[in-house]
Structure 1
């Protein structure tokens, strides 16, 4: 069970400062030392905003990553960028994100970079908040890779990635990380048409070696690319199989879906803690403290306070920083109000 009732959490990502985004598009103008300095300064900024908001759990804002998980492919050997199947123009959609061809057996001899991120966060963050690292799961990572003769479908790619992700989780625990989220939004996006028992088996085999050695959670959402979802947005197809996920906490998107199917939080709460997305990262309406209180009270009808956490629906990387900052501030203030009311 979580250490704090109605714990305030984040998923992982936070918007880049403008100067870091500029640097990403002009890498030829900077040396390695310049880039490392900019990344460290960006982490300091992300940590500052989260600590100032008063969050119980913070991350490094994933300031070294591009678009949630694309930077992980830079650590993988045996792949090469493939732009021939990437749409360049027209309305923004997931098929405009980069893909990769597999040219050799998949491996990651230096890991996926998450340990370095955590150690940097540990060095820069103040004492107090819990430090969390998020790692994309193998099924989600497989989505940007094209099958070939050796790996003829997405599931065979997933199986090749599974031990790589598992090793990254083990290395994080060895480095002292006590809270890890395994992001598997592709599983929730495709639960309506894929074998959910197979998803659960994949997930549980990924985390089995770190289960009980850290606080383990998973993030299930319906996708977010430039404010657009990608999957069928319903919790119902996840049940009952996803109740067998071996996690301490599951995060479920709610605010963007106007709290549809909120009653389905109840069966999850019987098996695990539930982090409910009560802040809409795809909307520039800034939720007020009153909104947050009302939303938390709705959640408490289905999840007891000691098992309830609150967070944004998804990562904040595609939400402007001014909005992200105020949304987090109001989320924390509203959560504290409800905690105080419950103890009276």
Structure 2
């Protein structure tokens, strides 16, 4: 269950400050201590913006990652990190991102880096702040690795990565993480053409170490590469199978889809908390407080307040910071207005 009704949260990523983007392109000019200082400063920026907005749950903004999952490949042994892009010209889209070749047994003896991120967040955030850390699920992580003779298809790659993600979750628990989001957007992107029950089995085996020990979330969206989706944007193919996910909270992208399939949150809320995406990260329309409140009330027609969480549709890393800040402020104010009207503030 949620810590209180109508909680406000985020998915994970947050826009890089302009100086961080510049510095990231010129890392050869910085020393190791400069980089550590830069990482702390960037995390402080993301933490500060989220706290200023009044969110109930915050992250580190994934300020030390490249994209929400691409940095994890730097921790995995057995792959060639130079991914050849199949298309370099024309409009930016997912098909411009190549796949890493697998050159040996997949392993991550140093972990995947999420523990260090959580420890930084815990150190920098005010005491008592509700913190969330995210890791990509194995099926999503397998998407950028090319199958070979050893790993025949994406599912074989997924099975090889699954224990690596499980170990990262175990290490996060040991570090004190109390809310862990296992992001699996590839499952929602491709659920229409795959067996959703197989996805459920993969997810449940991945999060098994954390059951009953931490709040487990997952994020199911349809992709957001430079503001573009990649999958067929329908949740219907995932259900009823996905009602059996061993998760405490499941997030669904709704704002960008103009709240199509909003009724799906009804049966979902009977099995776990539902985080509804009510901020469109792909649009520069800043949702008003009144618009947010209207959507919250619409959600209450399908699910009880104690089962509802509200967040942006996806991570905010590809939304300009000025817009992200305004969107979060209005999201929190809109949700709070409904919370107060219900007397559950």
TM-score between the two structures when normalised by the length of structure 2:
0.98
RMSD of the alignment, in Å?
1.0
**Counterparts of 1:168 and 1:205 in 2: how far apart (Å)?**
13
CA contact (8 A) 2:83 2:101 kept: no
**Counterparts of 1:219 and 1:69 in 2: how far apart (Å)?**
13
Residue equivalent to 2:302: 302
CA contact (8 A) 1:75 1:110 kept: yes
CA contact (8 A) 1:81 1:98 kept: no
Shift of residue 209, structure 1, vs aligned partner: 1.2
- 3-state SS of paired residue (1:40): helix
TM-score between the two structures when normalised by the length of structure 1:
0.98
Residues matched between the structures, number: 344
User: Structure 2: 5+ residue runs without aligned partners?
Assistant: none
Residue equivalent to 1:36: 36
- 3-state SS of paired residue (1:208): helix
**Counterparts of 2:249 and 2:263 in 1: how far apart (Å)?**
17
**Counterparts of 1:284 and 1:342 in 2: how far apart (Å)?**
30
Matched, 1:268 2:268: yes
- 3-state SS of paired residue (2:219): strand
CA contact (8 A) 2:142 2:157 kept: yes
Residue equivalent to 2:292: 292
**Counterparts of 2:291 and 2:267 in 1: how far apart (Å)?**
25
CA contact (8 A) 2:74 2:81 kept: no
Residue equivalent to 2:239: 239
**CA offsets, 1:259-285, max 9 Å, x none?**
001111111011110000000000000
**Counterparts of 1:270 and 1:194 in 2: how far apart (Å)?**
25
**Counterparts of 1:281 and 1:258 in 2: how far apart (Å)?**
13
Shift of residue 86, structure 1, vs aligned partner: 3.2
CA contact (8 A) 1:75 1:112 kept: yes
CA contact (8 A) 1:81 1:99 kept: no
Residue equivalent to 2:60: 60
Shift of residue 303, structure 1, vs aligned partner: 1.2
Shift of residue 85, structure 1, vs aligned partner: 4.3
Aligned positions of 1:208-223 closer than 5 A: 208-223=208-223
**CA offsets, 1:39-63, max 9 Å, x none?**
1100000000000100000000000
CA contact (8 A) 1:86 1:99 kept: no
Residue equivalent to 2:320: 320
**CA offsets, 1:184-231, max 9 Å, x none?**
000000010001110000000000111110011100000000000000
